[in-house]
Amino acid sequence: MKKLYLYLVLTLLGPLRLLAQSQTTDPTRATLDNIFAQLDKSQVPTGLLAESALPLVPLDVFNGTLTDSSRTTPDGFRYVYATLYSALVSGTQPLLSLADYNNRISAAEASFGSSTIPVMVQRVSYATVRPDAFSQNLLRYNSNTQQVTDVAGRTQNPYVVRTAFAAAPTRTYVAGATVQLALSSMPEAHNSIHTFST
Q: How far apart are CA 57 and CA 83, in angstroms?
A: 7
Amino acid letter, 151 = V
Q: How far apart are CA 69 and CA 60, in angstroms?
A: 10
Domain positions in the chain are: 2-197
Rounded average pLDDT over 155-181: 81
Q: pTM for the complete prediction?
A: 0.76
**pLDDT above 60 (res 183):** no
Inter-residue contact 148 to 35 (CB < 8 Å): yes
pLDDT digits (tens, 9 = 90+) for 152-167: 999 999 999 999 999 9
DSSP state of 66: -
pLDDT digits (tens, 9 = 90+) for 50-66: 999 999 999 999 998 88
Rounded average pLDDT over 101-130: 85
